[in-house]
Amino acid sequence: MPLSVNIQKKFSSGAKVNIEFATDARFTVLFGRSGAGKTVTLSSIAGLLSPDSGMIRIEDRTYFDSAQGIDLRPQDRRVGFVFQSYALFPHMSVADNIDISRKEAEKWGRPKTAAPRREPVDRDEVIIELGIHDLLNRRPEELSGGQKQRVALARALLRDPDLLLLDEPFSAVDAPVRDRLRGLVKEVCKRHDIPVLLITHQPFEALNLADELVIVESGEVVQQGEPEQVFFHPRTVSIARLVGTKNIFQGRIDSIEEGRVRFTADGEMFEADLPEGGIKLRVGDELTWAIRPENVMILRSDRPVKDAVRENQLAGTIIDISRNGPSWDVIVRTTKGLQLKVQLPRHAGRQLKLEEGGEIRMSLKRDTIHVIPGS
């Protein structure tokens, strides 16, 4: 495992952090709300904060081990850190900013830091890849958010890090630039073979970037895995909410058979496939179920219903439509009072002639209903 983290820290505010995870992914995303312990974790790995106890290792290098009394100074760790604010030195040119690590090392030496694990990152290559060659003589104040971000990344890469830490790196950048930067960051880090740990509170960003996703809640890791797995199969209701799942409902289990569970919710009967790997469900127990708005199928009233969409049929009234450009967000209340969010492409909405107050029929396919034990 390239990175393994196991840290405990108590703060005077009473907040407690107990984070434990290991990852060998190239791009790991630590995802959670602000205050969940993400930044504490990042700062601890960089050595900017000392945990009370635990261990931090990157491959064979131990950065922190309370049992052995090891706590390397940040200067002696080989970690590239891109701050949320970028933290570019305002009184230096872009070139001086990105060269500071190597120049200082040349001048003053760095006896306690282990050698770079890889070939030193090529300065000219990084400058070209990140498109900052025209900016070298400028001051940070003359740069746009996206440019600052690229300079900060170049500076961190030229530290020849064992691991690159990115703290909410895209939060201060405009949306269109953000999408381009995400791709660029991932590509450049992969090319230089530097593992990345990124923290974010934005579900889309986590899903988009992660090879491995670690979810942190109230100072603890609550779920870890491939992003699709975690997003579409959250282990608990609170993780489901955290990853932005809408349409979360309660129900009671009526029967379980042949990989399916039948349950009643708000007077309606439903049937769902049990997740692979199995979960603990018992007849009579409460359960939580969810369906993503884009998975709710709207049935056409003028055509016979195909077998494939016969499952879990519901009728309801449209109470609201938000026409958000290419997609529509529709809220439907069923005859028994269940309120469902439905998302569909604009063309489909227009073709179906959806309107507020209109009656529609829907189908919730068994394999798109996600069930979680408990309430």
Partner 1 sequence: MSSVDWYPLWLSLRVATVATVFVFIIGLVLAYVLARYEFRGKELLDAIVTLPLVLPPTVLGYYLLVLLGRNGPIGELYESATGSSLVFTWQGAAIAAFVAGLPLLTRSARAAIESIDSDLERAARTLGLREIRIALKITIPLAWRGILAGTVLAYARALGEFGATLMIAGNIPGQTQTMSIAIYDAVQSGDGTLALIMTLVLSGVAVLSLLAVGKFTKGRW
Site for partner 1, rule CB under 8 A = 46-48, 73-75, 77, 79-81, 83, 85, 87, 89-91, 100-101, 104-105, 108, 110, 113, 155-156, 159
For partner 1, which is the closer residue by CB, 91 or 282?
Answer: 91
Going by their DSSP bridges, the two strands 327-334 and 370-373 should be labelled as: unpaired
Q: How far apart are CA 224 and CA 37, in angstroms?
A: 15
| Cβ proximity to partner 1, 73 vs 310, nearer residue | 73
Contact 83, 152 (CB under 8 A): yes
Q: Which is nearer to partner 1, 43 or 245 (CB)?
A: 43
Give min distance, CB of 168 to partner 1, in A: 13
Nearer to partner 1 among residue 100 and residue 237 (C-beta): 100
What φ, ψ does residue 323 adopt, rounded to 5°? Answer: -90, 95
Q: Enumerate residues 6+ apart whose C-beta is below 8 A from 185.
A: 153, 166, 169, 196, 209
3-state secondary structure of 239: helix
Least distance (Å) from partner 1 to the CB of residue 263?
A: 50
CB-wise, 90 or 326, nearer to partner 1? 90
Q: Are 339 and 275 within 8 A, CB to CB?
A: no
Q: How far is the CB of 282 from partner 1 (least distance, A)?
A: 51
How many C-alpha atoms does 185 have within 13 Å on its Cβ side?
Answer: 32
Cα–Cα distance list, 183 to 96, 190, 210, 230 (Å): 26, 11, 12, 22
- Closest approach of partner 1 to the CB of residue 57, in Å: 18
Nearest CB to partner 1, comparing residues 84 and 208: 84
To partner 1, the closest distance from the beta carbon of 77 in angstroms equals 8
Nearest distance, CB of residue 83 and partner 1, angstroms: 5
3 state DSSP class of 314:
strand
